[in-house]
Amino acid sequence: MRHAKLSITLDKRVAAELRQTAGPRGVSAFVNEAVRRELQATRLRKLLDEMDQEYGPVPDDVQAEIEALDWPD
């Protein structure tokens, strides 16, 4: 089975905006993508925390150089 059915409870206002925003692609697809992104971000934060513990934080000069770059939106 490619999909698992879940039951979730949302605030009524959140649910209404979700239905309106999801539109034709549907609530399930919208929620699936949002959860996928959040899980990816959580894994990345965990990896960065592990790297900080193993190698220490990013030096200030390197951090300043990174922040000065022109990042895409």
Does any domain span residue 3? no
Does any domain span residue 1? no
Mean pLDDT of 50-72: 94
Give backbone dihedrals phi and psi of 7, rounded to 5 degrees, phi first: -115, 125
The count of domains in the chain is 1
Interval 7-60: pLDDT, tens: 999 999 999 999 999 988 899 999 999 999 999 999 999 999 999 999 999 999
| CB-based contacts of 22, cutoff 8 Å, min separation 6 | 29, 30, 31
User: With b meaning 16 or more CB within 10 Å and e meaning fewer, what string describes 49-66?
Assistant: eeeeeeeeeeeeeeeeee
Give me the domain span that covers residue 54: 12-67
